[in-house]
Amino acid sequence: MEKIKLGVVVVYLVKEDNERLLDLHLGQIGKCTRVPYTIYGSANRLLPKFRKKLEQNPRVKICECRHTHLTGIKEHSFYLEQLVNYAIEDGSSHVAVFHVDSFPIRSDWFEKVCARLSESCVLVAIMNGEIFDEKPHSSFMFFHRDFYLKYEPTFLLSEEGFSSRKYEEYCRNFKHILEGGVGYGFKIYSEGLKWYPLRRSNQGEDHSLIGSIYDDIIFHLGAAQRNTKHFNKAVLEFDRHIKRHLSALLPESIIAVLKWGLLKPKKILYSHIFSKNHKVFNFVRTQLLEDPESYINFLRTGKR
């Protein structure tokens, strides 16, 4: 029988006002994980007080990752690549990737996702609730070491990979937002394998994406590290709303001409959407941190 050793991989980029979120993330992983595990974390740009918190946690192993001047998804993926390597080289039988604002919500989460893996189904991951995003999302990804060692997937692709005909084919079959995780989706597609998507299962919500439960197993707050709370879903729904109303009044030829003149007003309205998302994010985070059990129960059941 295989000896289980779970490697939890997290890039710890934590804003100063998210200390309680970091505590909740660490606490939930500890409370809900029944198998032996180690958290492999990067702390390259972490505030000293948060680094000390990680150093004092016996389950956390801070990995001294090579530094990069990359930013955004490229920076995040750059550190994730190193952390997965650390976890595999340290003997992890399975690897789980989380974000600082994601964590398990039930004590059998490992067993649940592990049962989904097979010889052909090599990955379990969140499929984000965004429109046109059919790739594995790095807020939660789970796989066996054998898959990683045999196929050597990466979170993003090289320029050569992104410009390949095979990737063009993948894009036609699976629409996606360009974020970490696309490389795993592409590798699985290229090798004729499968992955199991965890889909949004909320029964209660305060936003269509902020504060999400996936397959009643994983929680993801969403956008905790982003200054602009931008979601393609909200923007596309807004665009469709505007087009629907214009179409009722004007012919397509006139709408096509007007489209360019509407760019600046739309940008102003987008800013309003982002501001509204930010307010909802703060509300959801406050509810979560004040009473995590109660708020997660609301998201799971719809009952406050």
Q: Is the pLDDT of residue 28 over 60?
A: yes
Q: Is the pLDDT of residue 283 over 90?
A: yes
| Structure confidence at residue 156 as a pLDDT band (50, 70, 90) | very high
pLDDT digit string (tens) for 54-92? 999 999 999 999 999 999 899 999 999 999 999 999 999
* C-alpha to C-alpha distances, 245 to 27, 47, 182, nearest whole angstrom: 48, 48, 35
Residue 191's pLDDT is what?
98
Residue 262's pLDDT is what?
46
Q: Per CATH, which fold does 6-224 belong to?
A: Spore Coat Polysaccharide Biosynthesis Protein SpsA; Chain A (3.90.550)
| Structure confidence at residue 176 as a pLDDT band (50, 70, 90) | confident
Instruction: State which amino acid sits at residue 250.
Output: L
Residue 130's pLDDT is what?
66
Mean pLDDT score of the chain: 88
Give the SS3 label for residue 95: strand
284: Cα separation from own chain's centroid: 17
**Domain boundaries of the chain, sorted by first residue:** 6-224
Q: Is the pLDDT of residue 268 over 90?
A: no
Q: At residue 68, what are phi and psi to the nearest 5 degrees?
A: -140, 155
**Which sign does the torsion angle of CA 26, 27, 29, 34 carry?**
positive
* C-alpha to C-alpha distances, 85 to 8, 91, 134, nearest whole angstrom: 12, 10, 26
Q: Is the pLDDT of residue 121 over 70?
A: yes
* C-alpha to C-alpha distances, 165 to 40, 67, 135, nearest whole angstrom: 35, 32, 18
Give the end-to-end CA distance of the chain in Å, rounded to a whole number.
44
Instruction: State which amino acid sits at residue 212.
Output: S
| Structure confidence at residue 260 as a pLDDT band (50, 70, 90) | very low
| Structure confidence at residue 257 as a pLDDT band (50, 70, 90) | very low
Is residue 135 within 8 A of residue 171, CB to CB? The reply is no
